Amino acid sequence: MSLGRVVEIYQFFWMFESHAQQRLAWDDAAQARIARLRAEEQAAAQLKAMLDANPSGQLGNAQLNDPYALLKSGLL
């Protein structure tokens, strides 16, 4: 058996392995899309719950260790 024939056989079997790996990658991508959609839905539900709990619209303006807020509250 010549070296060229051995290489052809190796490439033939490698083709099956590469196709299997490609299918796994497609499955992983599909699961990642599903997980991203679930996370976006959970974030939207959490935002709605936060807005329901604090309808003033002041969400996202708080800062940790804000010197002005600490002085205003009398903690500094």
Residue 61 pLDDT > 70, yes or no?
Answer: no
Parse the chain into domains and list their residue ranges: 3-57
51 near 59, Cβ under 8 Å? Answer: yes
Instruction: Give the end-to-end CA distance of the chain in Å, rounded to a whole number.
Output: 86
- pLDDT, residue 39, reads 95
- pLDDT, residue 51, reads 75
The whole-angstrom distance between residue 69's C-alpha and the CA centroid of its chain comes to: 34
Closest CA to 32 of 24, 45, 43, 21: 24
Tokens describing residue 56: 């003033």
- pLDDT, residue 64, reads 65
| Cα–Cα distance for residue pair 48/67, rounded to 1 Å | 29
